Structure 1
Amino acid sequence: MEELSQRDQVEEATAYIKLLTQRVEEMKRRKSEALMRSTASASSGGSMGGSKLPVLKVRELAGSNLEVVLISGLCKTFMLHQIISILQQEGAEVVDVNISNIGAQIFHTILAQVKVPRIGVNTSRIRMRIQELIS
């Protein structure tokens, strides 16, 4: 195996850097196009899988746990502390919150635990109160 001269190594490194730069530019272009498509679909009705945003799901999990999933668009803003307050008022204690921003959609996942498992919580009432807040 022949060793490359210093000049050849520099030329090889330069060519590799140019290739990486082209890849980065291509990825930036793809990202920009994807964001434009995502923004366009959100502004033309804000649909996700055939349903309008925001989407709210409240369900009871095993072990006296409660999960609230809220998918909203970037244009619709609300205060997360208001949802947490509703959960607390209805007898649940928030143990985890996860927020993800994907394109023009924000995914909120709130995991709560029922304070008094013997009494439980009224998920339909929680759903109704949160729906009033986000509508």
Structure 2
Amino acid sequence: MKKSSNSEASKVDRKMVERNRRIQMKGLCFKLASLIPPHYIKPSKEMLSQLDQLDYAASYIKQLRERIEKLEGEKEEATSLGNSNKMIDTMKIGTKWPVIDLRDMGSSIEVSLISGLHKNFMFSEVISILHEEGAEVVSSSFSTVGDKVFHSIHAQVKISRVGVDTSRVLQRLQELVY
């Protein structure tokens, strides 16, 4: 009879260990899914299976790695150019003005706009477009170097659940400045 009670006790222990492991894994999966920006997942997170959430997380991590590699390459290229005057001279050769760069950073957006001194558009119109599309401007700055004006705008998404359609923002900004 001793063997029987020992095997039953070890069976109960294994069940508890497995139950705790599953609870822990579920918590870790939930935490991982919460780190994925809501706009990255088209259907609602609640409607996805755990496996689908893991697939989205893996895809998002892969995208972030590629973005990091690209940015590191750009940084390396920029630092190899030396001072900013060399970079501006290089930009004059092969770039049409104005240049718009919009970066989606999950809950925030960074807009970089480079234009000539004589390109007439209202900076307030750029800010209005961001507001209309659901972003709140946190900071903005500009600097003039030679005959170029460099604008930088940092905006926060007003309603994180809804997000901002960055492709629409970019399209509207292009219509404004071109």
Normalised TM-score (structure 2): 0.48
Q: Secondary structure at the match of 1:131?
A: helix
1:114, 1:77 → 2: CA distance? Answer: 28
Count of residues paired in the alignment: 91
1:3-57 CA distances to partner (integer Å, 9 max, x unpaired)? xxxxxxxxxxxxxxxxxxxxxxxxxxxxxxx9xxx9xx8xxxxx63511000001
Which residue is equivalent to 1:104?
147
Deviation at 1:61, TM superposition (A): 1.6
1:108-128 CA distances to partner (integer Å, 9 max, x unpaired)? 000000000111101110000
Calculate percent identity across the aligned residue pairs. Answer: 49
1:116, 1:59 → 2: CA distance? Answer: 18
2:162, 2:93 → 1: CA distance? Answer: 36
2:152, 2:115 → 1: CA distance? Answer: 11
Structure 2 residue 108 is matched with structure 1 residue 65: yes
Once superposed, which parts of structure 1, at least 4 consecutive aligned residues long, lie more than 4 Å away?
none
Normalised TM-score (structure 1): 0.63
Superposition RMSD in Å: 1.9
Which residue is equivalent to 1:119?
162
Which one has the bigger strand percentage? 1
Residues 88 and 77 of structure 1, relative CA distance in 2, 3 Å threshold: same
Which one has the bigger helix percentage? 2
Which residue is equivalent to 1:77?
120
